[in-house]
Structure 1
Amino acid sequence: MQRTMLFGKTLGGLCAAALFTLSALNAQADQLEDVKKSGELVVGTELQFAPFDFLENGKQQGLNAELFKIIGDELGVKIRFIDLPWPSVLPGLEAKKFDMVAGPIIVTQARKERYDFTLPIAESTVALLKRSKDESLAKPEDIAGKAVGAGKGSAQLQELKNFAAGLPEKVAIREYVDNNQAYADLAAGRIVAVANSLPNISYVASQRNVFKVVEPPFGKKSYFAYLGRKDADSESLIDAIDKILLKMHQDGRLAALQKKWLGMAMEVPTTDFEPAW
């Protein structure tokens, strides 16, 4: 009798513990709910990535600021951006220092395995920026044997390395934590080109006539998107943002932001897709 009672108590205790654990997991399994309760969506970014994010007279400007304002209004929360050097952004997301990353970031196969991406918000095919008066770079292949810069830890850097590997002469690739440092070295002649996504360098060239885009882009067609952690509690937040982005795509608000900040409306996938690289 005593053994039966003890077994009953033990089983009851295990059931209670299991229910408690399940309840605790459920309570933590909805990031969207947590964000709405706090009234704030915290977003990691780098404010040196025009035209998506940059500072002008000490104030954040760019496509991200306007697009996340819409997201915040739709979700009923405030947006708080945390500005970090790019190499610190993804580690900060994984350490849960913020809810998601603005970037935006090129969607790749490897990154999709590690992070949960939103729908794309722009095309991100990689191209080269050169000095306007440099006639030695008529096409991307002309960087063979020369020094070229790209963002440290970026997908654009990897695409540059892949492209350079197929050229007849070695390309001296220099990595920069800050894109503005790369553009400064380009202007000073310390490198002959900077590899970045077409929207970024097109914007830089439009603002500074000392620079020019090398046509055509050399990278495979790719897309920019925002991202969050790849875990169960983050799915609700990314799903909610996808619904907002899809609505913006359908009613023309996304195209309007693209035209304003990127110079053109861009066709982007409206469903999940397989990246080209």
Structure 2
Amino acid sequence: MRLTIGVLLAALISPLAQAELIDEVNDRGELRIAVQADTPPYAYRENEHLTGFEIELGQALANELDVRVEFIETTADDMLPGVENGKYDIALNQTGAEQKTDGALDLSQPYGRKSLVIPFQKDNPAFESAVNNALQRIEADGRLAALEQKWLEGRAANEP
């Protein structure tokens, strides 16, 4: 009898455990983005408000996904583990395409002149597709180039 109940519970819980991240984001109506608020010109506080390249890019991504955005300030040590365990949906933290995540996370397609990528939870193909499509639209219509020009050009000496 206990085995039957256990099997039934496992069958009911399994579909929930395999929910796609894009469905969670849509159900919540919000994209949770981890940022470090001390990395100008990428993300920093100015007059008590977050600003910078990553903040404006995150807003553009959320708009393309048709959800609100929530920026969550975190530390470098918590950022990727927080994405891995679902505390954050993505991290915007100047992750380069060449950086390794030890297979714990999946990465978006590279974007921009610096070939940055966006880390997110592993095994979420629909979310990956949605993020990559959003990045392609932001790049294709010139918004990405405008953000890079606004925030990154002429600031090479300040970049991490």
Paired position in structure 1 for 2:120: 228
Q: Contact 2:43–2:54 (CA<8 Å) still a contact in 1?
A: yes
Q: Contact 2:91–2:119 (CA<8 Å) still a contact in 1?
A: yes
Paired residue secondary structure (2:93): strand
Paired position in structure 2 for 1:245: 135
**TM-score, length-normalised on structure 2?**
0.80
Instruction: Give matches, 1:1-277, under 5 Å.
Output: 17=8, 21=11, 24-27=13-16, 28-108=18-98, 110-111=100-101, 113-124=103-114, 223-230=115-122, 232=123, 234-263=124-153
Q: Call closer, same or farther: CA 1:62–1:108 in 2, change over 3 Å.
A: same
Paired residue secondary structure (1:111): coil
**1:227, 1:249 → 2: CA distance?**
18
Instruction: Specify every segment of 5 or more residues in structure 1 that has no aligned partner in the other structure, as ranges.
Output: 1-9, 125-222, 265-277
Equivalent pairs counted in the alignment come to 150
Alpha-carbon deviation of 1:112? 6.5
**2:99, 2:57 → 1: CA distance?**
25
Alpha-carbon deviation of 1:99? 1.3
Displaced runs of 4+ in structure 1, greater than 4 A? none
Paired residue secondary structure (2:119): strand
Say which one has the larger Rg.
Answer: 1
Q: Contact 1:119–1:225 (CA<8 Å) still a contact in 2?
A: yes
- In proportion to residue count, which structure has more strand? 1
**TM-score, length-normalised on structure 1?**
0.49
Q: Contact 2:84–2:105 (CA<8 Å) still a contact in 1?
A: no
